[in-house]
Structure 1
Amino acid sequence: MILVLLFLSACFLAYSNGANDNFKGVATLFGSGTTNYKKAINWATITTFSGSVAAIFLANELVKNFSGKGLVPNELITMPIFAIAIAFGAALTVFIATKIGMPISTTHSLVGGLFGAGVMAVGSQFNFEKLGSTFLMPLIVSPLMAAILSLIAYLIFKFFRKQLGVTKKTNLSIHKKQTINIASVNMDNSSTLKSNASLEATINDKVETYEGEILGLSSQKALDSLHYLSAGVVSFARGLNDTPKIVGLLLIINTIDIKWSMIIIAIVMAIGGLLNAKKVGVTMSKKITPMNSGQGFTANLITGLLVTTASVHGLPVSTTHVSVGSIFGIGTATKKADYKMISKILLSWLLTLPIAAIISGILFKLLENL
């Protein structure tokens, strides 16, 4: 029964992860008007699922490492109730954030779960030093670095765009409403036509595109292709990185092969993204800052480079934090960033670890006493 509960907790975490995280790689595609929401989430689902499947062959070590090793004594890691407390605490935290449209990090929810259940289980034996140096420092540094680099990259790309003679063009989607009133028939059966016509127009959407050629290619088409590619790479990397972290909690269930665990978690993540990603997707795409396709591509490029570099060096940065930081950097450069929304997101980040820790700690104690 306890192993079934562990499996269900891991699936709940996978679902919440997909709902909160799957759209982040393609947020700039939707936000810039490069594509609509449906096409963006479909591209995110395909590329994230591909990354999850690739984890079967490329990420076995990450599965073994992301289980609390170094933070708590090794004997605690093998306890099913410890893994359940971590998974459920992290899952519920991410699920609540998803419902209110806040993009938070599953990684840091898991760290919060590790902290809460770990301290409840072993008290002062918990490795607080490693928690600060390995997890909290990248949490603070990565979004700041992403914001600065995306701002610099945007200014550099803008300079070269002008040098190459590529210009921006604004396309307006206008909704027209026309009203015509007609009167009337006279008493002698003769008719008189009177009309009163009014035209009302509203701008539904405004999309900036680029005109000009680079190396004989249409600048807009080349940019859109690169933008799609960069979004796919970020989503693939996220699936590759996040799936093993969740599967790591299932190592205690020796009856389920790691490969099958990866596939199950990948499917549940995909379902979570397809069914529940819209609120977080709109926050990431529309509420931090308006952007065009060039600005969106720049933010995605910086996100991809930073997350990939951090992964190579073993730094546990959050795709969420890097992605939000990159988009905010663009908003700072264009002076269109919504600082009120950014402050709400930062508050949700600050609350992620303590909320997950409290839920996991309480659940561990309850399961221990049963």
Structure 2
Amino acid sequence: MANAPNGNQWARLDRDLHRISRIEIAVAHTSRPLVGTGVALAFLVLAALLAELVLGFPPGGVLVAAAAVFGAYMALNIGANDVANNMGPVVGARALRMSTAIVIAALAEIAGALLAGSDVVSTISVGIVDPQSVPQGPPLLAMMMAALMAAALFINFATLIGAPVSTTHSIVGGVMGAGIAAAGYEALNWPMMGRITASWIVSPLMGGAIAAAVLALIRNRISRREDKMAAARRWVPILVGFMGGTFAAYLGIKGLGRIVTLSGSEALVLGVVSGLLLWGATIPVIRRQSAGMENRMRSVKALFALPLVIAATLLSFAHGANDVANAVGPLAAIVHAAEHGALAEGIAVPNWVMLIGAFGIAFGLFLFGPRLIRRVGSQITKLNPMRSYCVALSAAVTVILASWLGLPVSSTHIAVGGVFGIGFYREWEAGRRQYSTSQRLAREERRRRKLVRRSHFLTIVAAWVVTVPLAGSLAAGIFWMLMLIV
């Protein structure tokens, strides 16, 4: 019988097993990105197979399959980048864990895309290019394919550098660049491009100003009151009712296309009625929830946690209803052109195309979304449920105001602008308190007390500025490459 290991041998064995376990942990950590990439590639292959099976392998089936792959790739990138604007503040405020937020957002995005996503999309995204000015056949197909590929590649790059960008502006830039390459500058709708350029400035400023105004209202009506809980019982139901009414009107204007079509006045009536009902229903809920709470701001912030989660879920639903068109619109146009040889003014989106867009956004969020969620939620400025609620509410209010004014705004710019608005308002408020006490701080100390990270601010703003020109230049180059192939 062999001798049992002595104490030294057991110690060496323990050290070796510990090293092996550390190697296994390191391998698992480094292989995580590969797992995400593998699942994403499998989804792209399934999208191509679905396109071929549904269409029955037509003569132009290879082109349609390739378009399905890039439509799925675009949807993955939308999920990885754009959805962070809705769930980032919730995670940053610690109202939800990352995993729970991702599950809720994914389900809401799928529901929004499949239930309320537009079943008809514009032939050329938001009227940027006149379809009649583009030669039919290969040039038209190459233009739409180039726009889709360029937008997806640009959003992928922005996600890698941690910059939340507008997927709508990305696809607009792609269509613009490919349209210029295919038909020249005269084919573009320059007034529309001017309005989109103006929205780069209007969207974040409106979002930031409204978020800061709501935070100032809460500070004046609740935070600075001696009896904070009594003020919260009065004002939180009002704010929740206003939120509910705003989101009802928002969805009525932007998102219920497959369920019911509402005019602007009907959406406004829906918003007012919904707001009043929710206000009345929230009063007893807040009273029960606040019973026994201490009279301090920590208790007030806790009252905003559930309304914040509901607001973020509704934002994700509306996002799925609206921005899925950025992935499926060009794909639907390519499928229509391949089947009929030309484009019409309005194109019906096949159900299989909508499925690719809906599940692509969900997969992109699951696989690659956490990085941008952390960036928006905690790395720009410090958020809590009350501040994050202000961001969510400002997003809905800004979209409604912009729709009323006829301005094409970006949900990404609004949401991130709201986060910046909260941070800069808190900086201004802290500076006002400092000067009111005649306390002068050294320059280094003032810099240390900044509540908005300037490096992220500059990175994000730079990415916004270059979105349309960079996506357009990339699309033009891809178009010329495709024309050499076809």
| Richer in helix (by share) | 2
CA contact (8 A) 2:92 2:378 kept: yes
Secondary structure at the aligned position of 1:252 is classed as: helix
- The CA distance in 2 between the partners of 1:223 and 1:366, in whole Å, is 52
* 2:323 alignment partner in structure 1: 242
Structure 1: unaligned runs, 5 residues or longer: 168-212
Deviations along 1:265-315, whole A, 9 cap, x unmatched?
101111011000122111101111001110111111101222344457664
Partner Cα distance (2:135, 2:460) in 1: 32
User: In 2, distance between residues paired with 1:101 and 1:122?
Assistant: 34
Match of 1:64?
A: 122
1:233 counterpart = 2:351: no
Which of residues 299, 303, 312 in structure 1 aligns to 2:391?
A: 299
Aligned to 1:121: 182
Which of residues 8, 31, 34 is equivalent to 2:92?
Answer: 31
TM-score, length of structure 1 as denominator length:
0.81
1:166 aligns with 2:228: yes
SS in 1 for 2:165: coil
Question: Identity over the aligned pairs, expressed in percent?
Answer: 27
RCO comparison, higher one (Cα < 8 Å, 6+):
1
CA contact (8 A) 2:88 2:372 kept: no
> Aligned ranges for residues 136-215 of structure 1 at < 5 Å?
136-162=197-223, 163=225, 165-166=227-228, 215=287
| Greater strand proportion | 1
Aligned-partner SS, 2:142: helix
Which stretches in structure 2 are left out of the alignment for 5+ residues?
1-61, 230-284, 291-299, 340-347, 428-450
C-alpha distance in 1, partners of 2:389/2:404?
22
Corresponding residue of 1:42: 103
Letter in 2 for 1:301: L
Please give the alpha-carbon distance, in whole angstroms, between the structure 2 residues aligned to 1:332 and 1:307: 21
| Equivalent residue, structure 1, for 2:452 | 337
1:356 to 471, 477, 481: 471
Q: How does 1:251-262 map to 2 (within 5 A)?
A: 251-254=333-336, 258-262=350-354
Query: TM-score normalized by structure 2?
Result: 0.62
Instruction: Work out the CA distance in 2 between the residues paired with 1:92 and 1:69.
Output: 22
Counterpart amino acid of residue 284 in structure 1: V
2:148, 2:172 → 1: CA distance? Answer: 10
Write out per-residue CA displacement over residues 72-122 of structure 1, whole angstroms, 9 at most, x where no aligned residue.
343539622111100000000000111121101111111110111011111
* Alpha-carbon distance in structure 1 between the residues aligned to 2:75 and 2:403: 20
2: CA distance, partners of 1:280 / 1:224: 21
CA contact (8 A) 2:93 2:383 kept: yes
| Range with greater deviation from structure 2 (78-87 or 130-139) | 130-139
CA separation of 1:242/1:280 partners in 2, compared to 1, >3 Å: closer, same or farther? same
CA-to-aligned-CA distance 1:150-189 (integer Å, 9 cap, x gap)? 111101111111337237xxxxxxxxxxxxxxxxxxxxxx
Q: Determine if the alignment matches structure 1 residue 22 to structure 2 residue 83.
A: yes
Instruction: Provide Cα deviations, 1:207-233, integer angstroms capped at 9, x if missing partner.
Output: xxxxxx954532555411110111011
RMSD: 2.2
Summarize the Cα distance change of 1:126–1:109 in structure 2 as closer, same or farther, 3 Å threshold: same
Q: Which of 97, 118, 132 pairs up with 1:74?
A: 132
